[in-house]
A and B are shown apart, each in its own frame.
Chain A
Amino acid sequence: MAETATSWAPRSAWAGVVQAGQIGVAGAAGVTATLLDGFGLATLIAAPGGTLALSQLVESRIGITLPTTPKIVPGASHDAIWSGPDQWLLRASTREGFGSLLEALSAQAAVSDQSDARAAMRLTGPRVRDILAKGVMLDLHPSTFVVGDTALTSIAHIGVHLWRLADGPDGSVFEIMVARSMVGSFWSWFAASAAEFGCQVSIDRSTGRG
């Protein structure tokens, strides 16, 4: 895809809605929220019967296998996230080279670039499940929703895609992705739910946007 010269600047999906800082009660934050930005994201849908061929192509290009159950397969530079039968989200840590990768994958899949269409956030901290329990109808107990599990569900009537990554220094780590157009509503729910525990919000400026 040829880039067209423009004076427009890309804007974070969170811009204008969320700012870095502490929300809710002061003191030690019960949860830390990191707003993610600058990642590449695309939906992959395999043709009927074409899952194996697509999986092999993905593996040969980026070294990860596509999960066939609701799991996230993290890789060094890319993550494959189950998003329905024969459907995946492919997330790249950077958009560099993402377009050409998608072009190659389009030989075996219906590919749609969603890089600017979703907003994503990473959550960790001792009260993370207490916050999620206010909106997620699923059992997120550590023994039930294990590392690598993903789920498509809804929070406050907003469609969300969430998954659990490997535990970090503050315990369990979740990421939540919502449609960009729903960021305001989602944040309204999140800020209200997190307030009683205190939440430290930071912005991942690794790509210089935010």
Chain B
Amino acid sequence: MRITCPHCGARDAQEFSYLGAADLQRPEGMAASEAAMADYVYQRDNPAGLHRELWYHGAGCHAWLVVTRDTRNHAITAVEPAKTRKAGAAA
């Protein structure tokens, strides 16, 4: 699999590290319930299809990227720098 880094161009996936879902929203403040925090920390969707996820270009420009990947065939439809995404944008 190759990821087209918006800064560096197309690179082999081994240059990147995977973090996970890109759009998790941390529950607000100290008042967040235990159940909400447990959901945030542990519960993940496992979609068969498009998935927005964070990748780190550790062997390249050291930028965090949001990659939109189809989990069925690894087709990548979008890669954007994580710093420019809208916080909490819908998948």
A154 contacts across to B, CB distance below 8 A: 15, 59
A84 touches B59 (CB 8 A): no
Interface residues on A, range: 10 to 19
A153 contacts across to B, CB distance below 8 A: 8, 11, 15, 59-60
B9 contacts across to A, CB distance below 8 A: 70
A152 touches B61 (CB 8 A): yes
Count of CB-CB pairs between chains A and B under 8 Å: 33
Contacts beyond the supplied A85-B81, A137-B11, A153-B8: 16 A-B pairs with Cβ under 8 Å: A70-B8, A70-B9, A84-B7, A84-B60, A84-B63, A85-B63, A87-B62, A137-B12, A138-B11, A151-B8, A151-B60, A152-B8, A152-B61, A153-B11, A153-B59, A154-B59
Contact with B along A119-145 (1 / 0, CB 8 A): 000000000000000000110000000
A172 contacts across to B, CB distance below 8 A: none
Classify the secondary structure of B's interface with A: loop
From A83, A151, A152, residue with most partner B Cβ within 10 Å: A152
A152 to B62, CA, bound (A): 9
Enumerate chain A interface residues (CB-CB to B < 8 A): 70, 83-85, 87, 137-138, 151-154, 159
State the Cβ distance, A131 to closest chain B Cβ, in Å.
19
B7 touches A70 (CB 8 A): yes
Q: Which residue of chain B has the shortest Cβ distance to A48 in the bound complex?
A: B83
Enumerate chain B interface residues (CB-CB to A < 8 A): 7-9, 11-12, 15, 59-63, 81
Q: Which residue of chain A has the shortest Cβ distance to B6 in the bound complex?
A: A85
A159 contacts across to B, CB distance below 8 A: 59
A138 contacts across to B, CB distance below 8 A: 11
Q: Which residue of chain B has the shortest Cβ distance to A150 in the bound complex?
A: B8
From A70, A85, A159, residue with most partner B Cβ within 10 Å: A85
B63 contacts across to A, CB distance below 8 A: 84-85
A85 contacts across to B, CB distance below 8 A: 7, 61, 63, 81
B61 touches A83 (CB 8 A): yes
Q: Which residue of chain B has the shortest Cβ distance to A83 in the bound complex?
A: B61
State the Cβ distance, B60 to closest chain A Cβ, in Å.
5
A84 touches B62 (CB 8 A): yes
B60 contacts across to A, CB distance below 8 A: 84, 151-153
B59 touches A152 (CB 8 A): yes
State the Cβ distance, B21 to closest chain A Cβ, in Å.
23
State the Cβ distance, A177 to closest chain B Cβ, in Å.
14
B15 contacts across to A, CB distance below 8 A: 137, 153-154
A151 to B57, CA, bound (A): 13
A6 to B33, CA, bound (A): 60
